[in-house]
Chain A
């Protein structure tokens, strides 16, 4: 594919329901990030996958949030028992393996806008 693909682009769910957000990174990209962005705010780091290493989950806000990356490619972010404060745009980004020169740029998807009613 040409870029990072995220689905769905919009998701409206009722409080208490579970949601799954999907990210298809650029082929061959070994690094994958999930961020959350509320309206007019910065990027809140959630989780980072790099190759076969254990993911950096330090940004997940609660145990209702989890993410996995199957086969080093597609990633799914799951939010259980959604709350209204979970409403935000969830952005996924991928990059090639970091190099000796310091790393490759992140390519972001268009995001999933999650609204919890």
Chain B
């Protein structure tokens, strides 16, 4: 069905360690988006991946979309305290006129110890 699973739910790391969150769908996605929500804030768009096997980087953040367009990951290298927050993936199904709504994963809450 149309559901996006995200793991882990929580991740605690020491500053400087790496962090990865994973999203998976049982059916092919048309695209996937990533959002970050700081404590007390609202989700903010980070990036969108559309192509099979696509890899995009934003400074220490690396986003990947699987070859089958069923999974995606966000990897943060050398975490900093400013990376604290909840990271959500959101996938969309369908194409063209059938392109539907976004399905959000449960999110991964990242805590970074100084």
Contacts and interface: CB of A to CB of B under 8 A. Distances in A.
Interface in A10-45: 31, 33, 35, 40, 42-43, 45
* B interface secondary structure, majority: strand
Interface string A90-117: 0101000010111101111111000000
Interface residues of A, number: 24
Contacts, number: 59
Given A33-B102, A42-B105, A108 B43 contact: yes
Interface string B1-39: 000000000000000000000000000001101010000
Contacts of B75: none
B50 A105 contact: no
Given A40-B109, A56-B101, A105 B42 contact: no
12 contacts: A31-B101, A33-B101, A42-B107, A43-B43, A45-B103, A45-B104, A56-B100, A91-B42, A98-B99, A102-B31, A105-B45, A106-B102
